[in-house]
Amino acid sequence: MTQTEQAYHHLLEAIVKGDILPGTRLREADLSRELGLGRGPLRDALHRLESRKMVNKVPHVGAQVVDFNPVEMIEIYELRERLEGMACELAAERMSDDDLAALGELLTTHRQFVEKHSGEAYIQQDTDLDFHFHIIQGAGNSWLTQLLCDELYHRVRMYRYQSAHQKARPERAMKEHTQIFEALSNRDGELAAMLMRRHIATARENLIRYIANTQ
Amino acid sequence: MTQTEQAYHHLLEAIVKGDILPGTRLREADLSRELGLGRGPLRDALHRLESRKMVNKVPHVGAQVVDFNPVEMIEIYELRERLEGMACELAAERMSDDDLAALGELLTTHRQFVEKHSGEAYIQQDTDLDFHFHIIQGAGNSWLTQLLCDELYHRVRMYRYQSAHQKARPERAMKEHTQIFEALSNRDGELAAMLMRRHIATARENLIRYIANTQ
DNA sequence: CTTAGGCTAATTGTTAACAATATAGATTGA
DNA sequence: TCAATCTATATTGTTAACAATTAGCCTAAG
């Protein structure tokens, strides 16, 4: 694995998890010293982060970790609504029975987790994404997968870490996931898509409410 | 404008227009000499092209211009269908009257062009994209705009240049554009979205037919 | 006291030399 | 003759020094 990739993944996770705070100026000299590499590979990593919109870069000025932006966040959720709805349509047609079975097991595991650690939101984060990723993969459209997983989801994860104190609703999400899974099992793409869109629309409404409360 | 950006735009256009053929190996030393810059900025440009999926890069091996891939092309059209449908829904709500008027003028200009140069497909290319871009902008979702214009459309343009000999159907496209415009003018987002999805679905079917014929 | 101008320091953009890696051809052995 | 290994070369990955640009500060004039 090349140093550029290492630096990219390291910085990406640090930004997503909030170890590097939004708005932080990223100085190439400092960072390269901290990460123990030259400025060349680091610059490559910063460019990649820029094209993923995780940092803002201004020529001759520098790079800065993106700040939380309510407008963009809502834009991203508008996109997720359509794209993951599309993923459901395609997944209902294209997922293999084995894939569906795996998704079912995932759901069972999650349900046990939710029942055991009821209310611990931070665990819900990853399990929730697992479910979504599995369906996205199942759609069998590599461009759709990249758009969602490589372009949009980093921001979604970043937002979730920032608003981690916010009460999640694992039981409700669990129920909605189960409904989506059943629709997929019945190969009813139209229904699965509708449920997924509604599922994400609910999340978007929570997001809007959260934004309104924090301002 | 920094050298990286210059190189990026130069190479992107060259690839899109077919001046650099698909499958061409891009050697850093050669290219930097031709473009008259160092390898550093050139590498940055290649990285950007890679993240836009216009070149494939393998560590320690090099970069190669993407080859025409029917499967990916269909994936992209599947995405366009949904995303531009979405753009229509949003544009019907959010476009200003001035924007709509401008779109109408665009359409008039195009109609005159089509009537004058009936059948000259290569002119149709850009004017067609103008129409689509205008609506995408009108949706007022910066992430949607970036996804479509920066990630997907380069490939679409590349494909169009490659299949330029294929007979376009300017009159039909013109008619469909007009219908979409009218729906937008009536602020009927649902209808506009449906027409747009169908418009792109038609293009996708042509694409599939074209692929079948060339194999 | 305010503002315009220039100067200094810090930071990014760029280049060229060096190190590491992979490919292709030659060589040797079975 | 074929296969496997080794070696040489070409190419990429990395580093460190150099050039260009920006932002902040200080000075001085109005």
Spacing of A39 CA from D16 C1' in Å: 9
pLDDT score of B26: 95
Domain span including residue A55: 3-65
Q: Is there a single domain that holds both residue B107 and residue B187?
A: yes
Q: Which residue has the tokens 């059943």?
A: A182
Percent of chain B with pLDDT over 90: 77
Helix (H) or strand (E) holding A211: helix A189-213
Who wins on pLDDT, A170 or B62?
B62
| Reported confidence tier of residue B130, pLDDT bands at 50, 70, 90 | very high
pLDDT score of A165: 63
Per-block mean pLDDT, blocks of 10 residues, chain A (215 long): 89 95 94 92 93 93 92 96 98 97 94 73 74 97 96 94 74 92 98 98 92 83
B15, B39, B65 - which closes a domain:
B65
Q: Is there a single domain that holds both residue A74 and residue A149?
A: yes
pLDDT score of A113: 81
Distance CA B89, CA B139 (A): 8
Q: Is there a single domain that holds both residue A149 and residue A201?
A: yes
If one counts every other C-beta atom within 10 angstroms of the C-beta of residue A120, the result is 12
pLDDT score of B182: 98
Residues A144, B151 contacting (CB under 8 angstroms): no
Q: Is there a single domain that holds both residue A198 and residue A98?
A: yes
Who wins on pLDDT, B111 or A15?
A15
Q: CATH number for the domain including A111?
A: 1.20.120.530
pLDDT score of B168: 65
SS3 state of residue B180: helix
A65, A83, A106 - which closes a domain:
A65
Helix (H) or strand (E) holding B162: helix B153-162
Q: Is there a single domain that holds both residue A51 and residue A105?
A: no
Q: Is there a single domain that holds both residue A55 and residue A125?
A: no
Structural domains in chain A (count)? 2
Residue type at B186 in one-letter notation: N
Q: Within an 8 Å CB–CB cutoff, is residue B149 touching chain A?
A: no
Long-range contacts of B148-152 (CB under 8 A, 24+ apart): B148/B80, B148/B83, B148/B84, B148/B87, B150/B52, B151/A147, B151/A151, B151/B52, B151/B53, B152/A143, B152/B76, B152/B79, B152/B80, B152/B83
Q: Is there a single domain that holds both residue B166 and residue B129?
A: yes
Q: Is there a single domain that holds both residue B114 and residue B205?
A: yes
Task: Give the list of residues 6+ apart from residue B62 with CB closer than 8 angstroms, or none.
Answer: B25, B26, B27, B28
Segments of chain B assigned E as strands = 25-26, 55-58, 62-65
Which residue's CA is nearest to the C1' of nucleotide D16? A38
Q: Is there a single domain that holds both residue B83 and residue B111?
A: yes
Q: Is there a single domain that holds both residue B53 and residue B84?
A: no
What pLDDT digit, counting tens, does each position of B146-163 carry? Answer: 999 999 999 999 998 888
pLDDT score of B122: 57
Q: Is there a single domain that holds both residue B39 and residue B89?
A: no
Spacing of B60 CA from C20 C1' in Å: 9
Q: Is there a single domain that holds both residue B166 and residue B89?
A: yes
Q: Which residue has the tokens 């994860």?
A: A157
B32, B65, B98 - which closes a domain:
B65
Average pLDDT, chain B: 91
Nearest to A147 among B85, B142, B147 (CB): B147
Q: CATH number for the domain including A35?
A: 1.10.10.10
